[in-house]
Chains A and B, each alone.
Chain A
Amino acid sequence: MKSLYDLKKCETCAVIQIPECPALHSLGVHKGCKLSYVMKSPWKGPLVVATNGSRELAIDYVLAKQIMVEEVRTNEMP
């Protein structure tokens, strides 16, 4: 288990724990959802992930550090 912010290039993960944040849920980030690394913004900017392999979402680095994930292999992706 690691934080979403520690996700590395080309990695995909499944969310296993998220902080109380209704906006995250609204944007499709919930327990069990799969997120793929897209990029990390400079100067303590947000982490950009792709939700379900398509839409991109920029998540604050503070929030990303509170989201716990585990890595999944790409062939486990739906």
Chain B
Amino acid sequence: MKCHSEEIGMTEFSGKKRVLLMGNPNVGKSVIFSALTNKAVMTANYAGTTVSAYKGNLIGVDDIEVIDVPGIYSLDATSEAEMAAVKMYEEKTDLVVCVLDATNLERNLKLGLELRKKQCPVIYLLNMCDIAERKGIRIDKKKLEERLQAPVIPTVAVRRAGFQRLFLLIKKYLKDPGSYPYSINASFTTSIEEISYIAESVQERIEPQPSKIDRWEKWTLQPLTGVPIALIVVILSLGFVVGVGKAIRAVLLLPLLNNYYVPFVESLAGLLVSDESMIYQILVGEFGVLIKGIEWPFALILPYVILFYIVLSILEDSGYLPRLGVLIDGVFKKIGLHGGSVIPVTMGYGCAVPAIIGTRASSSRKERIIIASLVTLAVPCIAQTGAFIALLGDHSILLLFAIFLVSFFIMFISGTILNRKISGVLEPTLIEVPNLLMPSKQALWRKVWMRTKHFMIEAEIPMIIGILVAALTIETGVLNYFSVILEPVVVSWLGLPPEASVALVLGVIRRELAVLPLLGMDLTVNQMFVGALIALLYLPCMSVFFVLIKEFRIRIAATITAATIILAFLVGGLVNQLLRLFGGLL
């Protein structure tokens, strides 16, 4: 998913003055980038949100561009991200805006001082001042300026506090470099002792009274309280998405569709062509583009998509996910992942594309491949989940839970196998636990809007193409041909009706299209379950396949894809045979 407006290559030049926005991971750079450039930006309260560099013009100034550099801890260039950042810095930098986390000054000063040692003016932003205050940390801004020999601006990025001065200083220093109030050749040492000395000499600590958020920070990490909280979060999230989504559909969307829209387009199509003609069937028939093209994406899927993105954005912005990662790290290790992988896996329940791109923040290639494989194989995207709710949830909520249980089980088994088969070692866990924050409403709605818009653009066109393919295959009789070819598999092995082969054909285009055609087929409970199971494990959608190629090359992308197909038919068939043997689910 392209979250920012312009992702840049490392050697791209524009001839403009260049401001690099740098700092440790999760200090608020992307929020600041968004405020400086007015560019849509994906932000979250955990390290590794920005995995590529992005650029945008400073608001109202066309000849100054701001680059959001992925978070790094130093300029030692020991990691891939650090090497890329150093390269970017060396290519062209006119000014650095270095973001420091006021709650963790000492650690942030390492990079801060390394940047100050370079022959380039630096403006320091002392971000998260509100949280530092809450934690009893007071930083003497003037003293810090003296120690760093550079301007320091206290900010609270999520509230846009302190940005006016930043705008002014960026413009001033770039227009007139001589106006920078300190020597850019100041000499510094970056030894641990020097960094500790600066940090301790500018900050004062008092023991604060624990606030409500401090208590929640403790409770979410302690196993005794953290595990029940995690369960409650999952249940509430599911309840919110499924319950509210079903209510919106039942009360608002389906009546609108069935009582007004469908009769309208049917009569419209009837006026244009004969209702006996093939064109009429393609437009408003069983898989009519004008009906299914609206019903599936808008009335069936969209409510769940929006609600899921609300939940995901709250979890991301509150900083809860890394805490969950710490709690389940021990379990995740058994399948070759760190607890921190809970972030891309959770994102996968929205869409696999950003989840796979997000694995760039993982510490090893082995872990990246395992996460990408599991997300592709057994994590249903929200569109597919919406289709599952329509297929299974409307019949029995237990069936829906059963599919998710199977998904977890398959993830665990596959992860264990992949962990053993893929060479490489898992780096030790090191998770920086972010402060818990109350998500900002404005940031939350911006993220939900960005993601929903992206979903509509990415999903709507392929879905309409899929529906058109379905309508054409049915109306031209091609489906019968497919059904005959696939009959031994679809009917004999999987126990589905012959027309279910259309779901297998459409599932190539998008994952939810492997489920939605089953809705109108009058299936038994066993068939619904088997059909959903195959759809869960079946091919990744086209976008996912192309992202897999981009991130891991064709060999791995093809292997993952082949594995998903084989597993889908194998597991689906076995479950069908077992259900037959033991008399079925009902």
Q: A residues engaging B (CB < 8 A)?
A: 21-24, 26-28, 30-33, 38-39, 41-46, 48, 51-60, 62-63, 78
Per the CB 8 Å criterion, the residue count for chain B at the interface is 43
Assuming the A-B contacts A58-B339, A62-B428, are A48 and B104 also in contact, with contact meaning beta carbons closer than 8 angstroms in the complex? no
Contact bitstring B196-232, A, C-beta under 8 A = 1, else 0:
1001100001000000000001100111000100000
Q: Smallest Cβ distance from B2 to chain A, in angstroms? A: 29
Is the Cβ of A44 less than 8 Å from the Cβ of B330?
Answer: yes
Q: A27-B107, A44-B330, A44-B333 are in contact. Are A57 and B192 (CB under 8 A)?
A: no
Q: B512 within 8 Å of A by Cβ? A: no
Please name all residues of chain B whose beta carbon is closer than 8 Å to the beta carbon of A60 when the two chains form the complex: 428-430
Instruction: Select which of A30, A45, A54, A78 is within 8 A of B326 by beta carbon.
Output: A45
Which residues of B (400-434) have their CB < 8 Å from a CB of A? 427-433
Chain B minimum-CB-distance residue to A26: B73
Nearest-neighbour CB distance to chain A for B27, whole angstroms, equals 11
Of B74, B200, B432, the most chain A CB neighbours within 10 A belong to B432
Distance between A75 CB and nearest chain B CB, rounded to angstroms:
12
4 additional A-B residue pairs with CB within 8 Å, beyond A23-B430, A32-B196, A59-B429? A23-B427, A48-B326, A54-B137, A55-B435
B200–A58 touching, CB < 8 Å: no
B contact set with A: CB distance below 8 Å? 73-74, 76, 78-79, 101, 103-104, 106-107, 110, 132, 135, 137, 192, 196, 199-200, 205, 217-218, 221-223, 227, 325-331, 333, 339, 363, 427-433, 435
Whether the pair A58, B103 counts as a contact (CB closer than 8 A) is: no
**A39 contacts across to B, CB distance below 8 A:** 221-223
- Cβ 8 A contact of B78, one of A22, A30, A42, A56: A22
For A53, what are the chain B residues with a Cβ–Cβ distance below 8 Å?
A: 205
Q: Which residues of B contact A52 (CB under 8 A)?
A: 104, 106, 199
Minimum Cβ distance to chain B for residue A30 (Å): 5
Known A27-B73, A46-B326; contact A56-B331, beta-carbon cutoff 8 A: no
Chain A residue, CB-CB nearest to B73: A26
B398 smallest CB distance to A (angstroms)? 28
Taking a contact as CB atoms under 8 Å apart, the answer to whether B428 and A78 are in contact is no
With A21-B428, A27-B430 already in contact, the answer to whether A58 and B104 are too (CB < 8 A) is no
B190 to chain A, nearest CB (A): 12
**Can you list 28 pairs linking A and B with CB atoms under 8 Å apart?**
A21-B428, A26-B107, A27-B73, A27-B107, A27-B430, A27-B432, A31-B192, A33-B196, A38-B218, A41-B223, A41-B327, A41-B339, A42-B223, A43-B330, A44-B333, A45-B328, A45-B429, A46-B326, A54-B104, A56-B221, A56-B432, A57-B432, A58-B430, A58-B431, A58-B432, A59-B430, A62-B428, A63-B429
Across chains A and B, which 6 residue pairs bring their CB atoms closest together, nearest first? Answer: A43-B330, A26-B73, A28-B107, A60-B428, A45-B330, A56-B433
Q: B333 and A48: CB pair below 8 A?
A: no
The residue in chain B whose Cβ has the minimal distance to the Cβ of A56 is: B433
Q: Are B430 and A57 touching (Cβ within 8 A)?
A: yes
> Are A54 and B330 in contact, CB atoms less than 8 angstroms apart?
no
Whether the pair A63, B430 counts as a contact (CB closer than 8 A) is yes
Among B78, B135, B227, B428, the residue within 8 A (CB) of A54 is B135
Of B101, B107, B427, most buried by chain A (CB within 10 Å of CB) is B107
Contact B329 A41 (CB under 8 A): yes
- Take A32-B192, A58-B430, A60-B430 as given contacts and tell me if A48 and B339 are in contact as well, using a CB distance cutoff of 8 Å: no
The docked-state distance in angstroms from the alpha carbon of A26 to that of B456 is 40
